[in-house]
Structure 1
Amino acid sequence: MDIQLSDDQKAIDASVRQICSSFDDDYWTECEEEARFPSEYYALMAQNGWLGITMPEEVGGAGLGVTEAAIMMHAATSSGGGYSAASAIHINLFGPHAIVVHGSPEQKQRWLTPLVKGEQKACFGVTEPDAGLDTTSIKTVATRAPGGYVVHGRKMWTSTAQVADKILLLTRTTPKDQCRKPTQGMTLFYTDLDRSKIEVRRIKKMGRNAVDSNAVFIDGLFIREEDRVGEEGRGFEYLLDSLNPERILVGIEAIGVGRDALNRAAQYAKDRVVFGRPIGQNQGVQHPLAEAWTYLESAYWMLMRAAWLYDNGQSCGAEANAGKFLGARAAFDACTKAVMTHGGMGYAREYQVERLFRESMLPRIAPVTEQLILSFIAERVLGLPKSY
């Protein structure tokens, strides 16, 4: 069994790190404090072709797998940008997957090519305030109209909607109580984010403030028939194709955040001298950091295995979910220990670890909670009865 990156994969890691080195701590601090989208970083990633790493070659993408995307995103988050660096480009890697698989050739050219080039930005409209992770209970409704549909509803936690040109939107076209299964009757669209019909309200939040999260209110949005992805009523089914890649990417992005925090803590422990010796000489400092390394390393390889399974067409639900769980926990632990290693200065923005600590809470909550992951593993792996 060969468990190591190939030369091509190492080149991806090195190339992305080279780009990220153009953006220092001051850049990310400024974007965070000004709640400003990292446009310069986004443009440079687009210019170098990284926005299309998983996209088909016929639309200008690289046609690579989730494994390569995971390597790319780990490099981005571990190079100082944290979750702002990840979330600025994250949707390009998993969000359009339904279009790649179920879109027509015309739709792929019309929609994916501008995304790959960085000419358009997209957001993902799925979660709703009254449904949360119970996606089958969404209330956003698309009603048939001449030439298309009219949509009314609300979406919540829609990232990048402040800067997006397009929205991938999940709606109900058939009421839940009229469907044989609750997962039926939902339809997926990819359409213009028409701000005359869509109000976007920014949510003030704890971290990752360079990339906006929003409450979205849709009132009478007309969507053309040709902007529907696949068949009417099968939208939920189409979204399932992207769930495991999303979990893999979120988990490995978290590990990147944790590794950045850990490296900063280790360097501080070497440099900080108290009572005539570096604090890193004390086992009370060494051991927590060493322990954090072990958790991050083990979670990383669990996620790389999940990515390999996905790219090779094998079942990976348990591995993707477990890896996301472990990656998020390991990142939170590493960031917490990094702040503690810095002592009082860990609370100061100057040393960056407080920013990474705030961001490390995000993957423990989104896009799926730890509790649902454990329920999934209990049911699907251990054979226990469904609890919800």
Structure 2
Amino acid sequence: MSVVVPFLALLLTGMFAAYHRMRLPVWVAMAATALVACWLLGASATATIVAFVVLALIAIPLLVAPLRKSLVTAPLLTFFRKVLPPLSQTERIALETGSVGFEGELFTGDPDWQKLLDYPKPQLTAEEQAFLDGPVEELCRMVNDWEITHIHADLQPELWDYIKKNRFFGMIIPKEYGGLGFSALAHHKVIQKLSSISSVVSSTVGVPNSLGPGELLVHYGTPEQKEQYLPRLADGREVPCFGLTGPFAGSDATSIPDYGIVCKGEWNGAQVLGVRLTFDKRYITLAPVATLIGLAFRMYDPDALLGDVEDVGITLALLPRDTPGVEIGRRHFPLNSPFQNGPIRGTDVFIPLSQLVGGADMAGKGWNMLNECLAIGRSITLPSTASGGAKAGAVVTGAYARIRKQFGLSIGRFEGVEEALARIGGKAYAISALAQATAAAVDRGDVPSVPSAIAKYHCTSMGREVISDVMDVLGGKGIILGPRNFAGRAWQAAPIGVTVEGANIMTRSLLIFGQGAILCHPWVMKEMQAAQDPDHRRGLEDFDRNLMGHIRYGISNAVRSLWFGITGAKFGAAPGDDYTRRYFRKLDRYSANLALMADVSMLTLGGKLKFKESLSGRLGDVLSHVYMTSAILKRYHDEGAPEGDKPLLAWAFHDSVHRIETALSAALRNFPIRPIGWLMWVLIFPLGRRAEAPGDRLGHRVASLLMNVNEARERLAQGVFLTPCENNPGGRIASYLAKAVAAEPVERKFLKALKGKGIQALDYDAQLDEAVREGVLTADERNQLAELRAITLDAITVDDFDVHELRAATHYDRQPSGAHAARAVA
């Protein structure tokens, strides 16, 4: 036994130092001290000497810098350059234009959770809150989504006028140019509220405040361009759109075939230097009504009129609608959610260089500009839309499940419906937290490339799952379209959010982990930059410094993963309160797992990793859910850790950690190098998977929150339009919940009397009158049940129509011309 003790001491001191991320000299001193103690306490002298030799063989090559650089760093630098994934210019730009916020902590394996909790709570200004309570509330009251989607296939003129008059299109435009100058949080809150009543209205307002001429001009426009266009965009005199996607370039936006040739041409009666454009775009929101078109194209200068580079690169331009040669196509019809959307085309369209966004100096820099603006816009519009729909769906469906009765019971009391309600409530809570977190990151000055992809993908995916469960609970109420249906159009529109601004499949499998592993990792980007430094000596110095830090982190994450796996992450310091501390400890474990898997995957697969999309997608799921749960915990503590929110927090958290372990398990079982996968399994799941999906008791508590009047339900409902007016059937149903709950004891008493056959009448009103005469009910109770009957009828009633009301008002020749047929194929 005395032979083993020195080596055990060496191992334990190493693991202790690695767990706490002590530097190498500290571990060497600790290990040497431990070995001396072993010798003094009677351990085998030979074993102790051998252990000292092992320690020296590890320490000396690493501690002596010249020796380390020649024996360790230089060979590893050569190897790193070989396995370094080749980055295209567009990939390099995408990485360089993003910034890293708290998501960077998640790749360290030991996140600073206190840093997250110390971020200021997102708060609206008094002006922003007044806008929500005033113009936004009024706009919601004006919206009749059935008329928009079925009758007009567009916003009514009075809605367009109101939106423009109240500068909804100018939320991101600074006040000095006539805009509202709102924060990203206010932008999020406006879109969230509008989407809870109409996705068409929220899309119409959201797009001008997302990627497009307004945002591009704010960040990159010349002073003259800002003065000319921003005031007109802010008050709606100009309606913008942005042309990026085309028939042959969807998610692969860098391969756009649209081009512009630098040449001389006529503009406003004068010969000027400009660009002659040919383009074909589709899926362009607001294009049919746009007066100012933003356009992405590849610019060429074959005659060297600007310089000696022929392929200038992706460039952005502004085209007034009346520019000769510009053709605004007919409208697309996106899944019965008829926001203005359509194609734009142009052949030999001449514009001067002054119409390039940012002027001639920004020619070829369009991809940089797009990446920054995409990250910001993608952080807000679609996550906020999903948040509004999910929150409204949760509170309205909860009320409906309490009001609607089958077999004498509220349908929400059936366990199958409870399961659906639990998923609705838990996911709505998570979506809301995630959407707000990304908006807050923008307000902190971040360009959140990775969080925006996480939020876009998971908010829209979970939003689709929420509306699916809502439809399941509603049954026939959900599938009969009409003015009384609050969910049908949301169900039809759900795939739109999943598809636009980067298809979700591509976002998950290519973008989230693909960017995150490089951009957010504390060492990889620095090592890549060092490896590509043309100054070999400086590059070796930088690579050596970062490599030592990376090795220390890598060993630490392996040790931490093993320790957390053995102990179930039940020990260790963590922030939060007595309830959430255990959650932070679990996230420490999964952060270490993520960092370890990222290092091993990049080390063993190198450049091949970018083609392992299934592995990348699964590791992206791990990153996403660790980020999402951190946003959930941040929200919970920002709200003052309310007791009533614990079921929602717990359901969302356990659902995410179950998905984390499922993703890790799938990544390990399918790891391309099987022995590496087996080794990683031992480190990550030494005692097997332990996370479980939310249980039935927790689901029952979440469902009960949605079906009862309580503060947690009210907090979940904050920020959505629930005013019980004629055009808001969901708001009316939500408003009925308190009355339905209050009437239930009286209803049970009345039903008991009916079963006892003490009441002979068959008509409901006659039964109530007889119950009063027989002394079963008081007059007030009779009125209470009559009111319950009326509100129940309003909640469950569906619409019916005359045949002519369902026919399209416009008919056209259904035998397309040759040109139309060719256009349809494209």
CA 297–16 in structure 1, closer or farther in 2 if over 3 Å, else same: farther
Task: Verify the 8 A CA contact 2:334 2:496 in the aligned structure 1.
Answer: no
Given the alignment of the two structures, is residue 313 of structure 1 paired with residue 313 of structure 2, yes or no? no
Query: 2:334 maps to what in 1?
Result: 205
Q: Tell me which of 484, 487, 495 is aligned to 1:361.
A: 495
1:215 aligns with 2:333: no
Match of 1:152 in 2: 278
Counterpart CA distance in 2 for 1:149 and 1:11 is: 45
1:380 correspondence with 2:515? yes
Of residues 21, 28, 50, the one that matches 2:145 is 28
More displaced stretch, 53-62 vs 30-39:
30-39
Partner of 1:178: none
Is the Cα–Cα contact under 8 Å of residues 61 and 116 in structure 1 kept in the other structure? yes
> Counterparts of 1:281 and 1:205 in 2: how far apart (Å)?
37
Shift of 1:11: 4.1
Q: CA deviation at 1:115?
A: 1.1
- SS of aligned partner of 2:432: helix
Name which of structure 1's ranges 193-202 and 236-245 shifts more when overlaid on structure 2: 193-202
CA distance in 2, matches of 1:285, 1:122: 44
The 1-side partners of 2:158 and 2:395 are apart by 25
CA distance 1:315–1:221, shift in 2 (3 Å)? closer
Distance in 2 (CA, whole Å) between partners of 1:371 and 1:14 is 37
Instruction: Judging by fraction of residues, say which structure has more strand.
Output: 1
Structure with the greater alpha carbon radius of gyration: 2
SS in 2 for 1:170: strand
Give unmatched runs, 5+ long, in structure 2.
Answer: 1-116, 266-271, 302-308, 518-597, 603-608, 614-826
- Give 1:224 shift: 2.8
Q: CA deviation at 1:153?
A: 1.7
The Cα RMSD (Å) is 2.7
Which whole-Å CA distance do the structure 2 matches of 1:204 and 1:49 have between them?
26
2:424–2:470: 8 Å Cα contact kept in structure 1? no
The answer to whether the 8 Å contact 2:299/2:312 transfers is: no
Give yes or no for contact 1:262–1:335 (8 Å, CA) kept in 2.
no
Same amino acid, percent of matched pairs: 21
User: Aligned pair in 2 of structure 1 residues 20, 290: CA closer, same or farther (>3 Å)?
Assistant: farther
Which residue, out of 168, 178, 189, partners 2:317?
Answer: 189
In the TM superposition, what is the alpha-carbon distance from 1:65 to its structure 2 partner?
2.5
Closer, same or farther in 2 for the Cα pair 1:51/1:213, shift >3 Å?
Answer: closer
Q: Deviations over 1:213-265 (max 9, x none)?
A: 21222122222332111222112221122111221221111221222333332
Given that residues 306 and 316 in structure 1 are in contact (C-alpha distance below 8 angstroms), is that contact kept between their aligned partners in structure 2?
Answer: yes
Give the Cα separation in 2 of the matches to 1:334 and 1:250: 15
Pick closer, same or farther for the CA change 1:125–1:38 going to 2, 3 Å: farther
Q: Does 1:301 align with 2:451?
A: no
- The 8 Å contact of residues 391 and 432 in structure 2, kept in 1 or not, is answered as no
Distance 1:325 1:296 in 2: 15
1:225 to 353, 356, 360: 353
Superposition deviation, residue 192 in structure 1: 0.8
C-alpha change, 1:220 and 1:199, in structure 2 (3 Å) is farther
SS at match of 1:332: helix
Letter in 1 for 2:511: F
Query: Does structure 1 residue 326 correspond to structure 2 residue 458?
Result: yes
Which residue number in structure 2 is paired with residue 339 of structure 1? 471
Q: Which residue is equivalent to 2:396? A: 264
Confirm or deny: 8 A CA contact 1:142 1:152 kept in the other structure: yes
SS of the aligned residue for 2:289 comes to coil
**Equivalent in the alignment of 2:387:** 255
CA distance in 2, matches of 1:267, 1:20: 25
Q: Distance in 2 between matches of 1:32 and 1:41?
A: 14
Which residues of 2 match residues 16-55 of structure 1 at below 5 A?
A: 17-24=136-143, 27-33=144-150, 34-55=152-173
Distance in 2, matches of 1:280 and 1:10, equals 35
Instruction: Measure, in 1, the Cα distance between the counterparts of 2:324 and 2:275.
Output: 16
Distance in 2 of aligned mates of 1:342 and 1:360: 17
Aligned length: 382
Distance 1:332 1:134, change over 3 A: same
CA contact (8 A) 1:302 1:319 kept: no
Please give the alpha-carbon distance, in whole angstroms, between the structure 1 residues aligned to 2:489 and 2:292: 29
- In structure 2, what is the Cα distance between the partners aligned to 1:354 and 1:314? 37
| 1:381 alignment partner AA | G
Q: 2:251 aligns with which of 133, 136, 144?
A: 133
Cα distance, 1:196 vs structure 2: 5.7
Q: Which residue in the other structure is 2:295 paired with?
A: 169
Secondary structure of 1:88's counterpart equals: helix
Q: CA deviation at 1:107?
A: 0.7
Whether 1:237 aligns to 2:368 is yes
Report the more deviating stretch, 28-37 or 262-271.
262-271
- TM-score of the superposed pair, with normalisation by structure 2: 0.44
Q: Does the aligned pair in 1 maintain the 2:166–2:235 contact within 8 Å?
A: no
User: Does 2:198 align with 1:81?
Assistant: yes
Per-residue deviation at 1:195? 7.5
Between 110-119 and 377-386, the greater mean CA deviation after superposition: 377-386
CA contact (8 A) 2:251 2:506 kept: no
SS of structure 2 residue aligned to 1:61:
coil
Looking at structure 1, the residues matched to 328 and 167 of structure 2 have their Cα atoms a distance apart, in angstroms, of 32
State the alpha-carbon separation in 2 of the partners of residues 195 and 277 from structure 1.
64
CA distance in 2, matches of 1:282, 1:237: 53
CA shift for structure 1 position 318:
1.9
Asked whether 1:90 is paired with 2:206, we answer: yes
The code of the aligned residue for 1:104 comes to T
Structure 1 stretches of 5 or more lacking a match? 176-180
The letter for the 2-side match of 1:227 is Q
